[in-house]
Amino acid sequence: MLKTGQQHLESLRDGRRVYIGDELVEDVTTHPAFANAAKSFAMIYDRKRDPENIDVMAYEDEDGELSSSWFLKAKTRDDLRRRRETHRRVAEWTCGLIGRSPDHVASFVTGLLWKPDLFEDNLRGSAAHLEAYYDYMRKNDTFACYTVLPPQGARQPELYQREGLTVPTLRVTAEDKEGVTLNGMKMLGTSAVFSNETWVGNLLPLGEEQAAESVTCAVPLNWAGVTIWTRKPFERFAVSEFDAPFAWKFDETDSMVIFEDVKVPWERVFTHNNAALSRNIYFETPSHAMGNHQSNVRFQEKLKLIIGIARRSAEINNVLQVPAVRDTLGKLAAAEAGLGAMISGQIEDAEEMVPGHFSINRRHMYGALHWCTQNYASICETVRELMGGGPFQMPADISVINNPELKQKFETYWSVPGQSAIERMKFLKMGWDLLGSDFAGRHQQYERFYAGPAFINTLYSFINCPWDEMTGTVDRVLAGYDVPLSGEMRHMAAE
């Protein structure tokens, strides 16, 4: 099934409980904090169905029906290229600003399918349940977010126990022949407000004593006992699209999700009571690599936008001929080209973790992931330097043109050769929304931590590095010579 945008909006009117502070949101598709972003997600579904996109962004599944290409199980490199282009178009339409778009978690789930025994050995029937859930997602074009981290303060449960406090982390508190009961909190439900379901799991290692927390399951976000507590929504405070074009419609939001006596049937439970496995499923399958390949592709589209702002800033400020400015723009261009090459390498050097199935090259993907998380902030700082104080020279908002007298003065004093005051203001407002606003601050933090702490990202590269190849090079060089025999040493003539 290829869901329409309207169908997706209707699916969000499902009785879910979303809180902004103490306000219970009745309809996320019409509330001023979420309505425009909801339409942006709906736009993805509609554009995917357009004639110019459907041949790439949909494929004919085993049942002869069209499904979204982010559910495609790649059997060739061309399948991987198709998936990449699907991710790229979604990112292009959203300027790379929606990190947890519908293709993200879908890629995680698709990657899990390739090693069913991994699940079956832990929980009888779970392999079939996972396959059935994948089919359910594919046939309904389900949009899932994920909540796969414990609350920050609860990662050392012994501290809570020492003070007699309840550990807030989600855990299984009961089970019976029908399923498990969940209680606790998970983070960080990015896009949860606009998703149909949340994939509950664990991306951080758990100790054996945390077996009750090691559940992996899928939960519709409108089920009884589920509540979504969102951070401050930027859309609500955007004056207009002109003044804040990205916050106006691309704030995917981040949320804590609370589960209180939520009953999950066994058909939706995929790991249970196995602390190590609950994390390993993502790394012993292509899951983590497939999901974060989407992140790499998305980042590149966002980087194109940022570099475009840098170039346009240089043009507007009439400094494009300055050698230092060209040097800066050249470095930015080289960085984007390098990232694109790393993404292409993920496909050209694709792996077959399971014979007959192609998956993203993990080493190349983790290298790109590390580069993205480590360089975003400095790239933004570089572009802000090119923008200079321009954003602060603009009036508070575009309402200034509603007053004819003020509008005339604005056009007189703010216009520059080749650019009207309104055009100049429009560009600077856009640049600041992306690089300097509250919305921009959230993206600085998001791009730094969406894949986990920095040491975790470098550990991924450490684990996937072919160290034998590296040290083998050293050994070959060392084996090529020995201690010189007497008389073989060159004696330099004394000066």
Write the CATH number for 38: 2.40.110.10
Mean pLDDT of the chain: 94
Q: How confident is the model at residue 124 (pLDDT cuts 50, 70, 90)?
A: confident
Report the pLDDT averaged over residues 84-103. Answer: 98
The answer, yes or no, to whether residue 162 has pLDDT greater than 80, is no
Give the max Cα distance, the chain.
96
Q: Which of 41-45, 94-98, 435-439, 486-490 has the lowest mean pLDDT?
A: 486-490
Give the pLDDT band (50/70/90) at residue 456. Answer: confident
Average pLDDT score over residue span 191-208: 95
Instruction: List, for residues 307-328, the tens digit of each pLDDT value.
Output: 999 999 999 888 999 999 999 9
Question: Token pair of 464, please?
Answer: 């996937």
Average pLDDT over residues 172-183: 96
What pLDDT is attached to residue 155? 65
* pLDDT in the model for residue 492: 66
Give the mean model confidence (pLDDT) for residues 379-385. 96
Q: What is the pLDDT of residue 451?
A: 84
Q: State the pairing for strand pair 226-230/255-265.
A: antiparallel
Residue 415, domain member (yes or no): no
Q: What is the pLDDT of residue 167?
A: 82
Instruction: Tell whether 88 and 177 lie within a shared domain.
Output: yes
Q: Measure CA 366 to chain center.
A: 14
Phi, psi of 251 (to 5 degrees): -85, 100
Q: Are residues 188 and 302 in the same domain?
A: no
Would you state the pLDDT for residue 494?
Answer: 52
- Is residue 416 domain-resident? no
| Residues 229 and 331 occupy one common structural domain | no
**Is 489 domain-assigned?**
no
**Within a domain: 58:** yes
Around Cβ 481, how many Cβ atoms within 10 Å?
Answer: 7
250 shares its domain with 295:
no
Q: Tell me, what's the pLDDT at 490?
A: 75
129 and 232 co-located in one domain: yes
- Quick check: helix, strand or coil at residue 351? strand
What is the pLDDT averaged over residues 379-397?
Answer: 93
| pLDDT of 104 higher than 60 | yes
372 belongs to a structural domain: yes
Q: Are residues 210 and 333 in the same domain?
A: no
CA 360 and chain centroid, separation: 16
Position 417 scores a pLDDT of 86
| Model pLDDT, residue 493 | 57
**Burial group, residue 295, by CB count within 10 angstroms (0-12, 13-18, 19+):** buried
The percent of residues in the chain predicted with pLDDT above 70, rounded, is 98
> Does residue 491 form part of some domain?
no
Residue 494 domain-assigned? Answer: no
How many Å apart are CA 294 and CA 47, to the nearest integer? 18
**Same domain for 299 and 234:** no
pLDDT at 264: 98
Q: Is residue 475 part of a domain?
A: no
Boundary residue ending a domain (250, 280, 310): 280
pLDDT beyond 90 at 46: yes
Q: Identify the domain boundary among 280, 307, 329.
A: 280
Q: Is the pLDDT of residue 111 over 60?
A: yes
Residue 431: the pLDDT is 97
Whether residue 39 is found in the same domain as residue 164: yes
Question: Is residue 468 predicted with pLDDT exceeding 60?
Answer: yes
Give CA–CA dist 56/84, Å, rounded: 10
Q: Are residues 173 and 242 in the same domain?
A: yes
Model confidence at 168, pLDDT cuts 50, 70, 90, reads confident
190 and 265 housed in the same domain: yes
**What is the CATH classification number for the domain harbouring 345?**
1.20.140.10
Element (H, E) at 320: none
* Domains in the chain, number: 2
Neighbours of 135 (CB within 10 A): 15
Q: Which of 155-164, 226-235, 359-368, 389-398 comes out lowest in average pLDDT? A: 155-164
pLDDT at site 170: 95
| Domain finish residue from 220, 251, 280 | 280
Give strand pairing partners of 186: 257
- Domain of residue 382: give its range: 287-388+437-468
Q: Are residues 384 and 352 in the same domain?
A: yes
| 92's tokens | 């292009």
Let me know whether 255 and 292 are in one domain: no
Token duo for residue 230 = 């969102």
pTM of the model: 0.94
